[in-house]
Amino acid sequence: MDELEKIRREINREDEAILEALAARRALSRRVIEAKEKSGAPIRDSAREEDMLSDLISRGRARGLDAHLVTRVFQEIIDDSVRSQQLHLLDYAKSDLKRVAFQGIEGAYSELAARKHFAPYLDRTLFAGAPGLRQVIDAVEEGDADYGIVPVENTAAGSINEVYDLLSVSQLSIVGEEVLRIEHCLLGLEDAPLAGIRRIYSHPQALAECVKFVSRLPDCQAMPWPDSAMAVKKVREEKDPAVAAIAGEEAGRIHGLRVLQRNIEDQPNNFTRFLVLARKPADVDLRIPCKTSLIMATPHEEGALLKALSILHQHRINLLKLESRPIPGMPFQYLFYMDFEGNAAEERVAGAIEKLQSATTSMKLLGSYPMQQRPRTSPRIEALAAGGPREEGEWTEPAPEKKAKSGLRLVSRDARPEDTVIAVGGARIGGEGFVVIAGPCAVESREQIHQCARFVKECGGQLLRGGCFKPRTSPYSFQGLGFEGLEMLAEAGRQYDLPVVTEVLSPSDVEPVARLADVLQIGARNMQNFSLLAEAGRSNRPVLLKRGMMSTLDEFLNAAEYIMAGGNHRVILCERGIRTFETATRNTLDLGSIPILKRMTHLPILVDPSHAAGRRDLVVPLALAARAVGPHGLIVEMHPDPDHAMSDGPQSLHFHEFADLMRRVYGG
């Protein structure tokens, strides 16, 4: 046996041990739920989960395992445990044979969603396709099926109106939901060249999600078909290489077409949410986080909807979705569909529903059902940064706000006395928290940005930065990798679960950059590029606005006002140093601006010690000094090999220096 073969056998043995351990752990979580059932203890205890994960990370580190790996593996394991504990408490687990109706034929997205939803009971479940959504509902109402699954909204194309209209007249209850990631493929016969495709069949919703892709194909016509898998069958029957279908890969495999192109949806991260319907409402254990859906009509008078919604607010209920649909036969009058957090069996929610009865002209409860998305356990940043718990009360909060400058209608504290907190992925910027954004000045290669992402995550950094369009003083300097770099940045962010920040230089790039970046940066040199500010104001992405190096705080806040006045209220300010007569540093970090800005505005404020210093030896001391004046976080540059960085090498931290910065910033 050669060496490699021997090693592989050892690997197989280790994998076997991992499987054994997983099975043993799952068996324990089954015992846990039995114990919890007796004691009534909650299924989740987030403080315990956080402690457990933080502890596993430090023990993993002692064995040479990185935090990201330990986090990912144990997040899955914890999630599996939560999921199986919840499943144990569901009605589904109690019933025998289940018959599930879906729209379409085998391979349709609805069928995939149904199989995903009923995965733990596949041996006891029969799936049956129906020609339309109406027929799915009929099958359940008439008792030919126990459950029906229908798509209700898509993250790119929006709500499926037909389902909302059917729900208003049906007697069924919503008993579950399922979210399916949609990855559309163009499917065709063998070797069909893309440019030769003249006709594409699919469900109108799927066509709507790929409009841009289809419009780029010359002389190609989109043909709506009842269902995506039926479209695949149709193409198979037509036997014409100029005809293709849009559907999932699975449908192509089942019905014998090949993938001509993958991921053709216009928006990445395309998800469809499905509802599971049954004749009787679900009785969901109060320990399982639920959503409740209802339909209501409000009196045709001033403030009626507001009154109804404020009932939710009074009962501290989080509204998840609000949709309106015209009432049939009553022009310009509407029904409202609401999804909110909570279970109608909880006292608080029941109280709100009762009040809603009297604030509405009609109301129909559609059901309370388990929420599909479970929050993931996160380790504590302090544990990641490998420091102890942060010391309390070591710095002074800014004094009470002073009167805002006139003209700052939206950014001033007068407009909003409480801090704005901006959620980006799992990070929250503003308020009490302190985040660190880190990464290279510029994305240089796939390898480089992946190395940075991995290290940032390992040390507890919460967002990844990386410039793709670089504003360089000299036209001969490296200008960034553009959209190619942005793809690399987004991929690294996805892989390490870090939202990404990148600079946008021109108004026309705002929309395409916003498709892949989680936060748009407007750099110091562009702080008063008013057309760029206006365009960023039209975007839905948060904007990280850097202080111009020649700008006063008033000008800085007015630049933020431009973005907010455009409708985008998620602006993060960043002090990055101003130009003074001093030449020993690249810029002079104006730390006094932080407590002043905190008095003047509710927006979150970060400090960038890298661009201020221009020298890496000053970055850690300036970061620590910055921490003391109370910003909401830092943005710093780091690089695997700063001496060979293509931009801002002299100020970029080596990895070990970044780890040191994190320890010191969070360690106290």
Residue 91 CB, shortest distance to ligand PEP, in Å, is 53
Q: Work out the end-to-end distance of the chain between its first and last CA atoms, rounded to an integer number of angstroms.
A: 55
Considering CB distances under 5 to 8 angstroms, the limit depending on partner class, which of Mn ion, ligand PEP, none binds residue 546?
ligand PEP
Residue with Cβ nearer ligand PEP (68 or 576): 576
Q: CB-wise, 558 or 610, nearer to ligand PEP?
A: 610
CA dist 306 and 61 (Å) reads 52
What values do phi and psi take at 582, rounded to 5?
-75, 135
* Helix ranges (DSSP H) in 194-277: 204-209, 211-216, 228-238, 249-255
Residue (100 or 443) nearer to ligand PEP, CB: 443
Answer yes or no whether residue 648 interacts with Mn ion by CB under 5 A: yes
Do the beta carbons of residue 229 and residue 254 sit within 8 Å? yes
To 5 degrees, how large is the angle CA 325–CA 329–CA 334?
A: 25
Give the integer Cα–Cα distance in Å for 569 and 567: 6
Instruction: Kindly state the smallest distance separating residue 651's Cβ from Mn ion, in Å.
Output: 7
Residue indicated by tokens 């008013």: 530
Phi and psi of 459, rounded to 5°? -90, 0
Contacts with ligand PEP, residue ranges (CB under 6 A): 441, 467, 471, 523-525, 546, 576, 608, 611
Residue number of the CB closest to Mn ion reads: 441
- What gap in Å lies between CA 180 and CA 639, rounded to an integer? 37
203 binding partner (options Mn ion, ligand PEP, none; Cβ < 5 to 8 Å by kind): none
Interaction of residue 285 with Mn ion, rule CB under 5 A? no
Helix (H) or strand (E) holding 101: strand 98-103
CB closest to ligand PEP, residue no: 523
Rounded distance between C-alpha atoms, residue 193 and residue 186, angstroms: 11
Which amino acid, 459?
C
Q: Tell the smallest beta-carbon distance from residue 398 to ligand PEP (Å).
A: 23
Binding of Mn ion by 503 (CB under 5 A)? no
Q: Which does 251 bind (CB under 5 to 8 A by kind): Mn ion, ligand PEP, none?
A: none
Binding site partner of 561, from Mn ion, ligand PEP, none, Cβ cut-off 5-8 A by kind: none
Closest separation between CB of residue 56 and ligand PEP, Å? 34
Instruction: Mark residue 332 as left, alpha or beta (left: phi above 0; alpha: psi -120 to 50; beta: remaining).
Output: left
Instruction: Decide: is 518 part of the binding site for Mn ion (CB under 5 A).
Output: no
How many Å apart are CA 336 and CA 355, to the nearest integer? 16
List CB contacts of 330: < 8 A, sequence separation 6 or more. Answer: none
Instruction: Note if 583 is an active site residue.
Output: no
- Catalytic site residue from 71, 272, 292, 420: 272
Outline where DSSP puts E strands in 298-434.
Answer: 319-327, 330-341, 362-370, 422-424, 427-429
List of E strands, 371-414: none
Of residues 98 and 525, the one with the C-beta less far from ligand PEP: 525
Count of residues engaged in binding Mn ion, rule: CB under 5 A: 2
Considering only the stretches 16-24, 25-33, 144-152, 435-443, report the one whose residues sit in contact with Mn ion under the rule CB under 5 A.
435-443
243 closest CA partner among 194, 316, 175:
194
The entry of ligand PEP, Mn ion, none that residue 463 binds, CB within 5 to 8 Å by partner kind: none
Residue 474 has which token pair? 């000299």
For ligand PEP, the closer of residues 343 and 610 by Cβ is 610
Distance between CA atoms of residues 42 and 90, nearest Å? 15
Q: Which does 466 bind (CB under 5 to 8 A by kind): Mn ion, ligand PEP, none?
A: none
What's the min distance (Å) between Cβ of 594 and ligand PEP? 16
Quote the least distance from Cβ 557 to ligand PEP, whole Å.
17
Question: 576 or 616, CB closer to ligand PEP?
Answer: 576
Cβ of residue 506: shortest distance to ligand PEP, in angstroms? 15
* Of residues 561 and 648, the one with the C-beta less far from Mn ion: 648
Is residue 655 annotated as part of the catalytic site, yes or no? no
Per CB under 5 A, contacts with Mn ion among 534-593 are none
Minimum distance between the CB of residue 578 and Mn ion, rounded to whole angstroms? 16
Whether 247 contacts 202, CB under 8 Å: yes
Kindly tell me which of 411 and 522 has the beta carbon lying closer to ligand PEP.
Answer: 522
- Which among 263, 221, 258 has a CA at the least distance from the CA of 241? 258
Span of 49-57, 382-390, 445-453, 647-655 interacting with Mn ion by CB under 5 A: 647-655
Cβ at position 526, least distance to ligand PEP in Å = 7
Measured over the CA atoms of residue 124, residue 129, residue 134 and residue 138, the dihedral's sign is: negative
Tokens, residue 288: 């399982």
Tokens of 155: 């993250």
Q: Among residues 523 and 633, whose Cβ is nearest to ligand PEP?
A: 523
Q: Exactly one of 441, 452, 492, 659 binds Mn ion (CB under 5 A); which one?
A: 441
Q: Are 546 and 576 in contact (CB under 8 A)?
A: yes
Q: Quick one: what does residue 488 bind among ligand PEP, Mn ion, none, with the CB cut-off 5 to 8 Å set by partner type? A: none
Catalytic residue among 74, 118, 213, 274: 274
In the complex, which residues of this chain contact Mn ion (CB under 5 A)?
A: 441, 648
Residues that are catalytic: 272, 274
